[in-house]
Amino acid sequence: MEKTGGKLNIDAIFPNATSLSAPDFSVLNEDESLIAKTIDMFVQDDVLPNNAKLEAHDYETARDLFQEAGDLGLLGVEVPESYGGLEMGKKASGLVAEKMGYAASFSVAFNIHSGVGTLPYVYFGTEDQKHRYLPKLVTGEWVGAYALTEPNAGSDALAARTTAKLDEATGEWVINGEKQWITNAHIADVYVVFAKTDMGITAFIVERKMPGVSVGAEEKKLGIKGSSTATLIMEDVYVPPENVLGTVGKGHHIALNILNLARLKLAFANVGASKQALSVAVKYAKDREQFGKSLVQFPMIQEKLANIAVAIYGAESAAYYTASVLDGLGESGKADDVIHSLANYAMDCSVNKVFASETLDYAVDEALQIHGGYGYMQDYVAERLYRDARINRIFEGTNEINRLTIAKAFLKHMNDETEGEALVSSEASTQSDIAADRNWQFIFAAEKLLQITMKSLPIKNRKDMDEKQEFMQRLADVVKDIYVMKAAVLASSHKTAGALKQRMTDVLCEEGYQRIAQAATTVVAAAYADAAEKQAALDDIRSLAVPLYSDLFSAKRQIAETIISQAGYEK
């Protein structure tokens, strides 16, 4: 972590939002706009009309859609051109995932294929492996899958029981075991499989046609019914040595780094699905009349719509900010530069995963509530959105695991000498053009709350972390909210942002600060046994200088009016 005059610089681990020259990541260039329009047409004309077939597990339809997506160039956005891809980076890939978020269950199948089903070859494959598999995956000729989870290894994903033993006679690896809840299981042609070897967890490329490979029955799920989910079974599967992905015994590096990318991609998909839920809610509320007027005329409904929009804006801002940062890592054009730096952004990816998935849960819940009894009926899209959304807080690491990742990654950056003090960058606080801004004042105060929280934490080592998870959770939420607040300020700081984004930023920062103050108060109250120390820390919280709280009701009515007039919220 960077140090400034012997003190920690918070901008080393949060978005460098003190730099108003940051790129306007909320604006799409010509190529990105074309991709967005292409996906909109693909989803509306090809995917959604076939959703019933997909939910009936019509695998031929699913494969056809993958090939159509391949023909449109959507499957290889992050794949180098030399293997048939577009090589456009994380922002473009995020845009694709966001737009595919409208595609019901196919969004899950698509993102698994183009993410964890493809990127392990890009970042860890040999030249031979890249040439063998990437062109087929990019065109949709083959569908990819990722096999990590096991019946006894869920959140503890690396506690695998699947084994791979080297057959000295043939020089091949023999894999035995089962992988559970594998997305695309029945339509995949190739799987990235993680297995135990004598040297540690190792990743293998396993093809569907290999003898001993079979797939169990489709799981009966609450939601995302149109994506194939089943158990991958391997019985004495002989895998040649050239199908080892990466280094023997180093498979955990692949699993953890690819998981970080998957979390960010999932956040983008959740942003898209949230926007769909908001649009559905607005349309219904405009059409539905009660007590002689449409639902959108009722202030409580307006507040719901505004709250959804503000949350979406926060999730969108954070995701595109993080993607832009990761794109900066890859400016050399070398995939290795990205993957070697990616571990430093585990916190960022987890922040996005948690915030976006919980935004989606909030959006679909309120969308269904606005529909009233009709939202509970399968004839209405809100019912399906509600069921499909629930998985997002579970897969790619539960939100509980991701909160621990956020807190632990943050603490890892801390220097023992500081003991949590002087977290606020002195450089940031002296920039008058920033310090005068109301939202910056909330951010600076929130960072001071983080300082107070850190000083009180009864966490000195890893054992304490495991035993004090309530504290870790609150710390993660404070970090998460500051990250999103800063990203939102960045997005609204550009001349293209407009009045709506500024209003949403205002609400997000004020309410974000209030949540952080509550979390800090809860931690302090629990951390100090000595009454005098506790009172002193609580007094520090109460004495912080923050802007006078505003009329959020009026601000949200204005946001709602805009959202209603434009039938939802888009970038």
Q: How far apart are CA 81 and CA 96, in angstroms?
A: 17
Q: Could you report how far apart the first and last alpha carbons of the chain are, in Å?
A: 33
Please give the distance of CA 491 from its chain centroid, rounded to a whole number. Answer: 18
Alpha helices in 19-102 (DSSP H): 30-42, 51-55, 59-71, 90-100
How far is CA 260 from each of CA 113, 181, 255, 279, rounded to the nearest angstrom?
A: 15, 19, 9, 29
Three-state SS for 428-491 is HHCCHHHHCCHHHHHHHHHHHHHHHHHHHCCCCCHHHHHHCHHHHHHHHHHHHHHHHHHHHHHH
H-helix or E-strand spanning residue 173: strand 173-183
Token representation of residue 415: 């220097």
CB 245 within 8 A of CB 175: no
Contacts 24+ apart (CB under 8 A), 383-387: 384/104, 384/223, 385/273, 385/276, 385/277, 385/280, 386/223, 387/222, 387/223
Other residues' Cβ atoms within 10 Å of the Cβ of residue 485: 30
The beta strand positions in 184-321, using DSSP E, are 190-197, 200-207, 213-215, 229-239, 244-245, 289-290, 293-294
> What single DSSP character describes residue 2?
-
CB 124 within 8 A of CB 198: no
Helix, strand, coil percentages, rounded to 5, for the chain: 60, 10, 30
CB 249 within 8 A of CB 200: yes
Other residues' Cβ atoms within 10 Å of the Cβ of residue 82: 12
CB 388 within 8 A of CB 104: yes
Residue 164: what residue type? A
Catalytic (active site) residue 396: yes
- Of 172, 396, 447, 510, catalytic: 396
CB 8 within 8 A of CB 418: yes
Query: Is the CA virtual torsion 79, 84, 86, 87 positive or negative?
Result: positive
By annotation, the residues acting in catalysis are 396
